[in-house]
Chain A
Amino acid sequence: MNNVSSSDIWYIVLIAIFILSFILNFTDIPQRMQLWRFASYVRRRLVQLDEIENDIRRRLVSYLSKLNVASPKEVIDNFINNYFLIEPVSIEPTDIIRRLAHLINVRDANVKEYVERYIPKLQKPEKHNVIVALEIASAINIVNKVLKHYFKLGLKNNNWILLMQLALSMPEILRIVNAYSKALDAFSLGTPIGDGAGPLVVRYLVGSAEPKVITEDTVYYEVSLNNRRVYAIKAEGPGATVGRPGEAVDKLIEMLGGNVARVITVDAALRLESEDTGEVAEGVGAAIGDVGPEKISIERAVTKYGIPLDAVVIKMSIEEAINTMTKEVYDGVLKALERVKELINSKVREGEAVIVVGVGNTVGVL
């Protein structure tokens, strides 16, 4: 019979702790273990992402088939692998916005020409919806490809930090990708989305007034509100387009010879986690989330004539912004409408002109 005293056990434990401490401090074993853990986690999420992408393709094929497209798979594949945009040179900033605007317009024209070539008999609103549906599939494909690239790079170089970053970012990325996936239904059905809050405010503001085209895919209305001349700009609906609100504001201000008392921009804004959907906030500046050209057009036009620029925003999450408008966002639209009317009544004198810009995607809103 062996008698083991507690001091013997402690001796063994101390040796084990020493060996463990040596392994933890002077070998790569812990990092390799973490790398396996993170790699396994990311791999499972990438499988989910593949499933989402395949599901989107299936739904898009079904949507295009209903529009009598002969070879929907070919239309999707050709679109997804092409139509990238190379950003203009930025180390020489002169004219960068003009160059960027030009490149964006060229890409837009190419995309429209592509859809026109494959689906020529479609009405304009449905054509815009198809373009956005293809853009959604393309965006998810790019996200999937980029994530796989970094995953493989991390494994190849045993870069556990890269894999850890990926693993920690995956839930948020998947949340956004899921939101995009659901958005396909909104665009194929043609329902208004959360981002359409701005155009919807304009729709309610102008009532049954007749629209006039001011620039590509963008219209304006002229109405009177308590003896103030209101010029309201929005994208041309009910197809999925954001139009060119910046260019429209610039043209309209020039048309009016700069005699504009105020410009009010209304747009959807991403809410913080602590904020509620449908909250309305008011501030100063151009409420528009574009890459630059449209926003700078508004800023330059108002600065040229010293016109005050207001912003009214309706708060919502990214999921709510790109999916069918929820009741909470709709209630926010009604609040924003009242806020815009208050602004006009309190800050624009009778007889003066004011421009209201409903910024956002006008899908489902005439």
Chain B
Amino acid sequence: MVQFTSLDYLTIILLILTTLLLIFTIISMFTQKRISKTVIGPKIIVKIKCLNNDYNEEKEFNKGYYVGLETGKCPKCGSKLVVDAIYSVGGTKEKELR
């Protein structure tokens, strides 16, 4: 059976260094920059407005819409309603964690 007779200074230093190395490794593992991705369902918005600028509305995108498409008549002045903008809101957001 192995028995240590004494703990000299070198052994203590070796133990301290090994412990510090382990602590450093663990800390560096947990402090690495992590990217958290929050997925919010992207929603595509269609902005429709009257050519006379007296009416506008927003609706969800349907296939076939494009910017400049005539969608009907303005309920206020009767002039053309056109798709003014199409863009997405939400989607994947990336957040950096420490």
Contacts and interface: CB of A to CB of B under 8 A. Distances in A.
Interface stretch (A26-34, A142-150, A264-272, A322-330): A322-330
A326 B51 CA distance: 24
A296 B66 CA distance: 31
B6 interface: yes
A82 interface: no
A6 B67 contact: no
Contacts of B85: 330
A324 B66 CA distance: 12
Contacts of B59: none
Contacts of A200: 67
A191 B45 CA distance: 10
B68 A189 contact: no
Given A364-B86, A366-B67, A10 B10 contact: yes
A316 to B, nearest CB: 12
A191 B42 CA distance: 13
B61 A191 contact: yes
A190 B51 contact: no
B24 interface: no
Given A189-B61, A189-B63, A6 B88 contact: no
A9 interface: yes
Contacts, number: 82
B11 interface: yes
B49 to A, nearest CB: 12
Contacts of A157: none
A366 B4 contact: no
B10 A192 contact: no
Interface in A329-355: 329-330
A365 B51 contact: no
B77 to A, nearest CB: 15
B88 A365 contact: no
Interface residues on chain A, size class: 20 to 34
A192 B8 CA distance: 74
A109 interface: no
B40 interface: no
Contact of A365 (B1, B3, B67, B91): B67
B89 interface: yes
Interface in B78-98: 82, 85-89, 91
Interface in A123-144: 125
B64 interface: yes
Contacts of B61: 189, 191
A238 B66 contact: yes
Contact of A366 (B6, B42, B44, B68): B68
A313 to B, nearest CB: 19
A261 B64 CA distance: 39
A290 to B, nearest CB: 23
Nearest to B87: A330
Nearest to B85: A330
Contact of A324 (B5, B7, B63, B87): B87
Interface of B: 1-8, 10-11, 42, 44-45, 51, 61, 63-69, 82, 85-89, 91
Given A191-B44, A238-B66, A238-B67, 15 more contacts: A1-B1, A4-B5, A189-B44, A192-B86, A192-B87, A203-B67, A203-B68, A208-B51, A238-B68, A238-B69, A325-B87, A326-B89, A327-B88, A364-B66, A366-B68
12 contacts: A5-B5, A189-B61, A190-B65, A191-B44, A191-B61, A208-B82, A238-B69, A324-B86, A326-B88, A330-B87, A365-B67, A366-B69
